[in-house]
Amino acid sequence: LEWMEHTPPFYSSVDIRNSGFKLAPVDTNLFPGNWNNLTDQMLPLAVQATMAAIEKICPEARNLLIIPENHNRNPSYLMNLAQLQRIFKMAGLNARLGSISPDIKKPTELKLPNGETVLLEPVIRTKRRIGLKYFDPCTILLNNDLSAGAPGILEELYEQYLLPPLHAGWSVRRKSRHFQSYEEVAKRFGKLLGIDHWLINPLFAKVEQLDFNEGTGLDNLATQVDALLTKVRRKYKEYGIKEKPFAIVKADNGTYGMGVMTVRDAKELDDLTKKARNKMGIIKDGLSVQDFIIQEGVQTSERMNDAVAEPVVYTLDRYVVGGFYRMHPERGIDENLNAPGSSYVPL
């Protein structure tokens, strides 16, 4: 019913934590990378979902332009682009990679670890459309989360479908708004099943005007963390859960697992080192952040190869098409696993 009333995101990946007593999504990415970690068995599902999604938007679609991150030459990211291209080609679309980076002035071939190559071509803007030389797409897919804001070249496109829309980029989107909407759905879902929606929904609070470097707003943060942990303790007591609650503080518009920390007691915030404060204040593209979300921590009871793990689920339109476990041998069950040193095992 929800999908009848609302357009699902074209694609997304969702980080899920399963503590045994609670199963909840803790982060949703609308510009998912890591498609290369989906196995070949998952591809037919992804292809079918792509066909269904594209048919709704542009039934006669032939050409699709994928716009990647600007400066990411990481081999794993490039493998992700190759996999996306493969999925669209298998769905019968002519998919090419168009870069909006000022560095890409001519078609540039980049080698992948598996010996294959991807071709990045410079995007050309006309009055109302964008495309490549001799390539006019009807749909443009962003695999670039627009952390630094929406570039002019992507604005005011009147005749092409831009997916996701510009307001889904991190310069506009906020996690707190996302979880507010998710909470409403979780409440209705809980009512339908006759369960407490807390079991699938992490509690959260929002803190604005917080400057970690200057130390301003830290008192307010401590008060909010304390209030949230008190609510969680109450829930734990109600369900006879013996674990110690914790909270995750993260940038409200952050990505790549940057600007994230675990807090087990509000007092810990008084003793933050300068290094820890600097780390929290800066996210991708060197942007400074002042809005944060405090989220109820959901520990993970999942393990892969003796390492702490969390499932990441991939969707296209309203279909789940696959996923993998993100695991991190050096992290604990109450820590963020999206950090250097993490690895992936297919679901």
Nearest to 39 by CA among 244, 325, 284: 325
Residue written as token pair 């990679």 = 97
Q: Is 47 helix (H, G, I), strand (E, B) or coil?
A: helix
Q: What is the pLDDT of residue 197?
A: 98
Q: What is the pLDDT of residue 282?
A: 75
Q: Where are the beta strands (DSSP E) in the chain?
A: 11-18, 23-29, 63-68, 94-99, 108-111, 117-122, 124-125, 130-131, 139-143, 161-163, 204-207, 247-251, 260-263, 292-296, 303-304, 307-316, 319-328, 343-346
* Average pLDDT, integer, range 193-202: 98
Residue written as token pair 């509000």 = 266
Residue 283 scores a pLDDT above 80: no
| pTM score, whole prediction | 0.93
* Average pLDDT, integer, range 182-189: 95
Q: What is the pLDDT of residue 316?
A: 97
Residue 285 scores a pLDDT above 80: no
Give the tokens for residue 342.
């993490």
φ and ψ of 50, to 5 deg: -60, -45
Q: What is the pLDDT of residue 284?
A: 67
Non-local (6+) Cβ contacts of 58 within 8 A are 138, 139, 161
Considering the chain, what percentage of its residues have pLDDT values greater than 70? 99
Q: Assign residue 134 a region: left if phi > 0, alpha if psi is -120 to 50, beta otherwise?
A: left
In the predicted model, what is the mean pLDDT of the chain?
Answer: 92
For strands 130-131 and 124-125, give the pairing. Answer: antiparallel
Q: What is the pLDDT of residue 217?
A: 86
**327 vs 273, more confident:** 327
Q: What is the pLDDT of residue 280?
A: 84
Q: How does pLDDT run across 85-112, given as a tens digit for each residue?
A: 999 999 999 999 999 999 999 999 999 9
* Average pLDDT, integer, range 47-57: 92
Residue 287 scores a pLDDT above 80: no
Q: What is the DSSP letter of 245?
A: P
Q: What is the pLDDT of residue 256?
A: 66
Q: What is the pLDDT of residue 107?
A: 96
- Report the distance separating Cα 117 and Cα 106, nearest Å: 16
Give the tokens for residue 147.
């952390």
Which three-class secondary structure string do you get for 98-140? EECCCCCCCCEEEECCCCCEEEEEECEECCCCEEECCECCCEE
* Average pLDDT, integer, range 109-120: 96
**81 vs 61, more confident:** 81
Q: How does pLDDT run across 210-269, given as a tens digit for each residue?
A: 888 888 888 999 999 999 999 999 999 999 999 999 999 999 987 666 778 899 999 998
* Average pLDDT, integer, range 156-173: 92
Residue 66 scores a pLDDT above 70: yes
